[in-house]
Structure 1
């Protein structure tokens, strides 16, 4: 099929289908910040890199400096004539394996509970989660620390200081009403007025 030149032609070209909801991975073993090795596919096989993004709607990951593709950028205010850039494309999660930090080799992983009948409380997320286990070495692989998107940004004049946020300024008391009496009386008056208006 030749290239379509008229306006709106892109609407006629079917988009790449996303993974159906029933086929998406429910429990992920690879997270952003992990080091993985590419074990399949057409490009960069046996290359190792860091996961910079996890695409759960595609069952894929983006690995730093792997599966590079050329992308043409349309003219915009920053580049009036447009430009050509190189960026990472996504890789199917079935084509990568987690690298065991103990050995530096790619390994298959399992999700286990550290003790029978008990779940593991992740100190980062505060949730009960499984741990990643490497059968080849018999060791646990810790999850990477999540990236803070605001770490590289400077504190601006509208940002609230950390000590102000953490200051304890309110002590709840269940024996007292949290609102003033005048406000509560006005609410009661409005309630009675509304009840009387709907009586007939």
Structure 2
């Protein structure tokens, strides 16, 4: 399988967490880039690719992806997939004024709760824009007919016991051989 050709960004050129203002769900507008046809398009950020200083935007910079035959598509198929756009080519759209804006990430302790509060201060309107909570990678997956049903997930299928071997016999036999070869029992 060929490797994905990902442009390398040096560690010194990566945007620091304290400066990164774009998050999934934000609406952005493309202000530059390779294709003039992409400039001016607006869309929601689907994913942030921090290793490349890029974001993927819904319906922007679409590219064909060929999918091999699988149970869902027995003859294979071609999909249109959004590709990453460098962060310098996009600008945040202020949800209050619908204008392009810059933002500053602010972290401070709330007086009411005493907890660290993180938000973005929009320069065009002066409004606060909350940083969305990270739901983790589980939320990114879509349901598929090949997924295990929830009813089977809750079912208890194995009970640990001294009588049950936790590993397959072939593996355990190999471990015994290694013990004997090392003649000390340690490896």
TM-score range with shorter-chain normalisation? 0.5 to 0.7
Q: Does 1:156 align with 2:155?
A: no
Describe the shift of the 1:127–1:55 C-alpha distance in structure 2 as closer, same or farther (beyond 3 A). farther
Q: TM-score, normalised by structure 1?
A: 0.59
Among candidates 27, 33, 36, match of residue 35 of structure 1: 27
C-alpha contact (below 8 Å) 2:30/2:89 kept by paired residues: yes
Shift of 1:73: 1.9
Q: Matched residue of 1:72: which SS?
A: strand
Q: Deviations over 1:117-152 (max 9, x none)?
A: xx146xxxx973543112222222222354571898
Among candidates 131, 134, 140, match of residue 143 of structure 1: 131
Describe the shift of the 1:25–1:64 C-alpha distance in structure 2 as closer, same or farther (beyond 3 A). same
Q: How many residues align?
A: 141
C-alpha contact (below 8 Å) 1:132/1:142 kept by paired residues: yes
Corresponding position of 1:22: 12
How far apart in 2 are the matches of 1:17 and 1:151?
A: 25
C-alpha contact (below 8 Å) 2:94/2:124 kept by paired residues: no
Q: Matched residue of 1:37: which SS?
A: strand
Shift of 1:71: 1.5
How far apart in 2 are the matches of 1:150 and 1:135?
A: 31
How far apart in 2 are the matches of 1:128 and 1:61?
A: 26
Larger Rg: 1
Q: TM-score, normalised by structure 2?
A: 0.62
Q: Deviations over 1:159-187 (max 9, x none)?
A: 59xxxxxxxxxxxxxxxxxxxxxxxxxxx
Structure 1: stretches of 5+ with no match in the other structure: 1-7, 114-118, 161-200
Corresponding position of 1:45: 39
Describe the shift of the 1:70–1:137 C-alpha distance in structure 2 as closer, same or farther (beyond 3 A). same
Q: Matched residue of 2:46: which SS?
A: strand
Structure 2: stretches of 5+ with no match in the other structure: 156-187
